[in-house]
Amino acid sequence: MDSLKDKFKAKADILATEIKDIIKNNGDVKLGEITVAQVYQGMRGMTGMVTETSRLDPEEGIRFRGYSIPELRKMLPKAVDGGTEPLPEGIFYLMLVGEMPTQEEISGITNEWLKRNNVPKHVFDVIESLPVDTHPMTQFVTAIMAMQTESVFAKAYAKGMNKKQYWDYAYEDSMNLIARLPRIAAYIYRRKYKNGNHIEPDHKLDWAANFAHMLGFEGNDMKRLMRLYLTIHADHEGGNVSAHTTHLVGSALSDPYLAFAAGMNGLAGPLHGLANQEVLAWIMELKESLGGGLPTKEQIAEYIKKTLTDGKVVPGYGHAVLRKTDPRFTAQQDFYKTYIKHDDICEIVQMIYEVAPPILESTGKIKNPWPNVDAHSGALLVHYGMHEHDFYTVLFGVSRALGVLASLIWDRATGSPIERPGSLTTENIKAKIKAAQKETAK
C-alpha cells in the first residue's frame, strides 16, 4: 500500500465507526426544518448530505479542512524549485486525510501520479472520433467515459467484492483518474487549437507544472498560475452541482469514472463551471462593441444593465450560497497584483468589480451581488496566452476531480448509502399548506 492509502485507511476506520455511533445514538437530532420555498427553489440552505473535504461559509467563503484560501496559499507546500503557489497535490492530501502534508508527502503523491498517468490508446482514439470542433467539455466527458474500461472498482464488483473493499478500489480508480486527467485535457487542447501537435508528459515535473507543459506553456508563469488555479478550484463543499452529482451517481455504486463523468456534465452548465468561459466571452463582446481598448465605468454600467434587460445573467457574479466576494476571486486578484501588475482584461475585471455589485443589488432580487471564482480566472489565462475561452471549464474540471474524488473515496469508506430523497407534487404541497393554515387558525 502507498503511504497516503495507509494513512487514509487508518483515519477512515475511525470515522466510519464514529458515524455508525452518531446514527445509532443521535440519529433523531434535528438539523433544521424544510420550507416550501426550499423544496421549490433548488434546496437552498437545506442540509442534506455530509462532505468531509470542505465547508462553505456564506460570509467567509470556503475552508478546506478548516483552512481558508489565504492560509492554504501560505501553508501548503510549494514546488522545491522556488515555487510560490501551493502544489495541488497538497490540497488533495489535506482533503483526503485532514492533515497538512509535508514536502516529502507531497513528492510521494507527485510520484504516485506520475507512475499512474498512462492513458490507454483507445481513449485518444475515441476523442479523435469526435468532430474537432466538439466543445472541449464534451470531449473531456467522452474521454472519461471511454476510460471507464480501466475501472478496477467495476471489475472487482463484477467478480464479487466485499463492501469493506469498496473504498480501496474507489481509491485506486480515483488516483488513476486524477493522474491521467491532465494528459487527456492537454490532448483535447492541442487537438482542437494546436493542429494536433501533442506534447508528451515530462516526468520531472509536478502535476500542475506538467499540465502546463503538456498544454504547451513553458516557463514559470503558467506553471505558477496552474498550481494556484488547480488548488483553488478543487472543492466547494458537497452541494454544488459537480460535487453533488458525483456523490449522487457514486451512491448507486457507479464506479469513480461514471460518477466523475456525471459530475463533469454538471460542471459544463453555464450557471456552474461554464461561467468562466461565459465571463471572457462577455468581456470580449463588450471590448469589441467599443472598438477595443479600456471601457469607461459608465460604459461598463450600461453594458451590465443591457445584459439584465436582455434577460441574461451577468456571468461571474452571484452565488447560491456565498454572500460576499468569493475568496477564490480575491486570491486571483492578488495573483494579478503580485505577478502581472498590468493587463487590460484584468483591469476590466477590476472595473466590473467596482461597477457591477450596486447595479445587481438594485434589482432587489439577486441575493449575492459579488463576484465568484469565474469572474477572474479567464483574464489571467488570456494574459498568459490561453485565449481559447471554451477550454476554460476543462481546467476547472481537472481541478474539481481532486475534491469530488476525495469525497467519493470517503463515501465508500464510510458506507454512505444510495441517495434517494423524497419528492412531493404541487397538489401534496397545497394540501400541506392548507393543513398548516388550519392548524394556526385554531
Candidates 58-66, 81-89, 121-129, 306-314: pick the segment binding ligand CMX (CB under 6 A): 306-314
CB-nearer residue toward ligand CMX: 5 or 244: 244
DSSP-assigned beta bridge partners for residue 64: 54, 67
User: Taking the CA of residue 372 as centre, how many other CA atoms within 13 Å lie in the half-sphere pointing to its CB?
Assistant: 27
332 touches ligand CMX (CB under 6 A):
no
CB-nearer residue toward ligand CMX: 147 or 404: 404
3-state SS assignment for residue 325: coil
| Residue from the set 230, 275, 286, 394 that interacts with ligand CMX by CB under 6 A | 275
355 touches ligand CMX (CB under 6 A):
no
CB-nearer residue toward ligand CMX: 9 or 305: 305
CA separation, residue 347 to residues 278, 332, 337 (Å): 18, 13, 10
Q: What is the DSSP letter of 76?
A: S
Is residue 387 annotated as a catalytic residue, yes or no? no
From the candidates 135, 236, 272, 376, give the one annotated as an active-site residue.
272
Is residue 374 annotated as a catalytic residue, yes or no? yes
Closest to 226 (Cα-Cα) out of 204, 213, 199, 208: 208
**Angstrom distance (rounded) from CA 405 to CA 95:** 10
Residue 195 gets the label, from left (phi > 0), alpha (psi -120 to 50) or beta, of left
- Other Cβ atoms closer than 10 A to 66: 10
Q: Smallest distance from the beta carbon of 146 to ligand CMX, in angstroms?
A: 26
Tell me how many residues contact ligand CMX (CB under 6 A).
21
Candidates 56-64, 112-120, 368-376, 377-385: pick the segment binding ligand CMX (CB under 6 A): 368-376
393 touches ligand CMX (CB under 6 A):
no
Q: Smallest distance from the beta carbon of 317 to ligand CMX, in angstroms?
A: 4
**Angstrom distance (rounded) from CA 412 to CA 170:** 7
From the candidates 374, 376, 383, 411, give the one annotated as an active-site residue.
374
372 touches ligand CMX (CB under 6 A):
yes
331 touches ligand CMX (CB under 6 A):
no
403 touches ligand CMX (CB under 6 A):
no
CA separation, residue 435 to residues 192, 429, 431, 441 (Å): 59, 10, 6, 10
**Angstrom distance (rounded) from CA 367 to CA 379:** 25
Q: Smallest distance from the beta carbon of 285 to ligand CMX, in angstroms?
A: 15
From the candidates 319, 376, 383, 389, give the one annotated as an active-site residue.
319
316 touches ligand CMX (CB under 6 A):
yes
- Which run of H or E residues covers position 82? none
**Angstrom distance (rounded) from CA 113 to CA 261:** 20
368 touches ligand CMX (CB under 6 A):
yes
Binding mask 237-266 for ligand CMX (x = CB under 6 A): ---x--------------------------
**Angstrom distance (rounded) from CA 104 to CA 116:** 19
Q: Smallest distance from the beta carbon of 37 to ligand CMX, in angstroms?
A: 11
Residue nearest to ligand CMX (CB): 318
Contact between 416 and 19 (Cβ < 8 Å): no
Which residues contribute to the site for ligand CMX (CB under 6 A)?
240, 271-273, 275, 308, 313-320, 365-368, 372-374
The catalytic residues are: 272, 319, 374
